[in-house]
């Protein structure tokens, strides 16, 4: 998952690299080095293909809580 590629700043980067850049931007904003922060791009999309049995079990677990 972390080694997946994503387009960021007009080039393909790994999620690990993008998360490091975003964490650095957040830390700069928290200590006052930056005034704005942007966490909109890149958009993370998860594709799941759960079997029906798993979906039913998950549904019953959530209903029992």
- Determine the pLDDT at residue 46: 65
Cis peptide before 59 (omega within 30 of 0): no
Please report, in tens digits, the pLDDT of each residue of the chain (65 residues total).
Answer: 567 788 888 888 888 888 898 888 888 888 888 777 776 666 666 667 767 888 788 888 888 87
Predicted pLDDT of residue 43: 65
pLDDT for the residue 40: 67
The token duo for 14 is 């790994």
Output the pLDDT for position 44.
62
Q: Is residue 12 classed as helix, strand or coil in its secondary structure?
A: strand
| Residue 63 confidence (pLDDT) | 87
């Amino acid at each position: 998952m972390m080694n997946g590629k994503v387009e960021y700043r007009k080039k393909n980067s790994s999620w690990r690299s993008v998360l490091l850049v975003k964490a650095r931007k957040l830390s700069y904003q928290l200590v006052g080095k930056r005034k704005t922060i942007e966490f909109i791009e890149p958009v993370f999309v998860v594709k799941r293909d759960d079997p029906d049995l798993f979906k039913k079990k998950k549904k019953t677990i959530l209903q029992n809580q």
